[in-house]
Structure 1
Amino acid sequence: MSILRFSDDLYLIDLPQKLEGFRKFIGAWVYAGEECTFVVDPGPKSTIPHLVASLRDIGIRDVDYVLITHIHIDHAGGLGEFLRHFENAEVLVNERGKEHLINPEKLWRGSLKVLGKVAEHYGRIDPVPPERFVDSIDGIEVLYTPGHAVHHQSYIVGDYLFVGEAFGVTHEVWDDVYQRPATPPKFVHEIAMSSVKKLKSVGKKKACMGHFGMLENSLDVAEYAEKQLNLWTDAVFDAICCSSVDDFESVCRDVVHELLNKDPRFSNLEKLDADVRKREEYFTRNSIKGMYEYVKENRL
């Protein structure tokens, strides 16, 4: 079932890819309240037909706003195509990301460089007309939360906290939750930690994750994200110091081994389905890479 209903006004639409393990990974949040209807992160271009069809199935014919947590291709790559289907929808995004959605060529080249064939599966990024953007929306509080990206922001709407990837990535397992940081290069520990603390100061909300699903207690997720940022960064530092060669792949293997023993939520990696686990192993490497570069530049 690709449409998950959490309440009378909130849905999550799963946007699976034809890639191994890319299910319950990319999702678009849909809020259909009395005051307005909005979508958070419409996803890549390849899944826009599925998203539009799912909105029709819910009964949504018009969208007032699109909220973008950050402009990475899996979150906002399909925005231009999505807006063709909803001609009245306006877009809220951090100012540092807006220019790259208006002129996405650099964003597309960067996506290809980092993700390669995965980016090709996601689909090319189409430009967004500059007149579609707004600076604010009544009833929606914006929090600037860099760390995963310099243009990352989160949104508070009532009891809902749309956090993008500020808390990392989560996935339900049968008796617990899998959680890992989302810290690609260029990662700065102090900036990411500051954003987690800012979201923690909001108080208890329902954490609507960019990847994937809802966790009822945002304070719990934030506290664990804090622990992980420290634990993982320290593990990378220790692995570099103990390594006999200056080799990222060797450090990465040592860090993963260490964390599987010391990080209970990350150790739930072994409880994931084989295809999802393979996906997470791929992105875990990217998260460690960000911390590796940070440690090499700032702590050695």
Structure 2
Amino acid sequence: MAIGDVTAVEGAENVHYVDTGMYDVPEYGSVYVIDGERTAVVDSGTGGDYERIADALDELGIDSLDAVVLTHVHLDHAGGAGHLLAAHPDAQAYIHERGARHLIEPDRLVAGTKDAVGDQWQYYAEPEPIPDERVTRLADGDAVDLGDRTLVAHEAPGHAPHQHVFHDADAGIVYTGDAAGLYIPSVDTIRETTPPPQFDLDQARRDVSTIADLEPEILAFSHFGPRAFDEAFLNGYKRTLMEWVEAVRRKRAELGDDDAVIEHFVDHADEMAGAEVWGERKAAAEARLNTRGCWRIWGRRSRVG
């Protein structure tokens, strides 16, 4: 699969995903397109990759969108939402009730994202604010009605408190957002994603159980595309999270300085699974972000490394 490619989700009728080329890394960003009675996309990229989503809609013959369904408001998932709504005046954005204000007034979210991602901001675009009346707020158990299918929102706040996973029971799909980590198909493993400022280890592990309890057939990861559901494989992400956080804790005990811990993991990023997929620069950015996300667990404020 190459950047810009549109691929059918195997085993799911009228569901495709586009490789948005996020961060200039093939397959890193996956936006799902549902061509049902009511058309929808699940997540919307950084905004900087908007044209690839627009091209995918054209390729699939979709002239208008009804729904932009967002797993959470982090800008690698929600950054393109305002651009999509501007291009599709009949579309409505669907988001966790805790994230809605950031779609309407994104300035605070933009500032936090710039602080978190550093020079990776070059791959984003300034988000377009969305009018309040075009934002539908979702709570746990609420559904997005797409006519021939329904996406049910399930709370998954470990990665971020404004995150839902969406279950399409008829199609057997769970759109995981970042609740199941970053899937890397080339080595068939899941990498941790533990960003500042609100990562919650215990809740993130419970979120994995939430997905497993739904017993889907397909896990629609927001990064690197879908995979067939396997409970043991998915539950392995709980162990991945524990091992990652423990590694950061041990290094903090050894070095005694947050900045030194961050630089240790940045310096060793190319040794970690995934670096061979997304390159040294993105591997270093992932290491910096994920290390900072662990500080909250021990009551320390996340700081720029």
Change (3 A) 1:116 1:277: closer
Give the SS at the match of 2:185.
Answer: strand
Matches of 2:268 and 2:30, distance apart in 1: 30
The residue type equivalent to 2:207 in the other structure is: S
Match of residue 190, structure 1, among 173, 191, 202: 202
Aligned positions, number: 284
Q: Would you say the 8 A contact 1:233–1:295 is kept in 2?
A: no
TM-score by length of 2: 0.84
Shift in Å, 1:207: 0.6
Matches of residues 24-39 of structure 1 in structure 2 within 5 Å?
24-33=27-36, 35-39=37-41
Q: How does 1:1-300 map to 2 (within 5 A)?
A: 1=2, 2-7=5-10, 8-17=13-22, 19=23, 21-33=24-36, 35-135=37-137, 136-138=143-145, 139-158=150-169, 159-173=172-186, 176-186=187-197, 187-241=199-253, 243-250=254-261, 253=264, 267-269=272-274, 272-273=276-277, 275-295=278-298, 297=300
Q: 1:91 to 1:218 in 2, by over 3 A?
A: farther
Q: Which runs of 5+ in 2 are unaligned?
A: 138-142
- Cα 1:116–1:281 change in 2 (3 A) is closer
Question: Which amino acid is the alignment partner of residue 239 of structure 1?
Answer: K
Q: How many angstroms does 1:254 deviate by?
A: 6.6
**Root mean square deviation, CA, Å:** 2.6
SS at match of 2:274: helix
Larger proportion of helix: 1
Contact 2:116 2:196 in 1 (8 A): no
Query: Secondary structure of 1:150's match?
Result: coil
One-letter amino acid matched to 1:182: T
**C-alpha deviations, 1:194-230, integer Å up to 9, x for none?**
2222122112431111112111015244301111121
What letter matches 1:240 in structure 2? R
Q: CA deviation at 1:30?
A: 0.8
Cα distance in 2 for partners of 1:276, 1:213 equals: 18
C-alpha change, 1:115 and 1:219, in structure 2 (3 Å) is same
Deviation per CA, 1:264-289: give whole Å up to 9, x if none. Answer: xxx5436x24x535413321231122
Structure 2 counterpart of 1:263 = none
Q: Distance in 2 between matches of 1:165 and 1:283?
A: 14
Most deviating of 247-256 and 192-201:
247-256
SS at match of 1:179: strand
Q: Is the 8 A contact 1:235 1:255 kept in 2?
A: no
Q: Structure 1, residues 218-247: CA drift from partner, whole Å, max 9, x if none?
A: 524430111112111222222223x14324
1:140 alignment partner, SS class: strand
Shift of the 28–244 alpha-carbon distance from structure 1 to 2, 3 Å rule, reads closer
Q: 1:149 to 1:244 in 2, by over 3 A?
A: closer
TM, length-normalised to structure 1: 0.85
Paired residue secondary structure (1:117):
helix
Q: Partner letter of residue 121 of structure 2?
A: A
Q: Percent identity?
A: 24
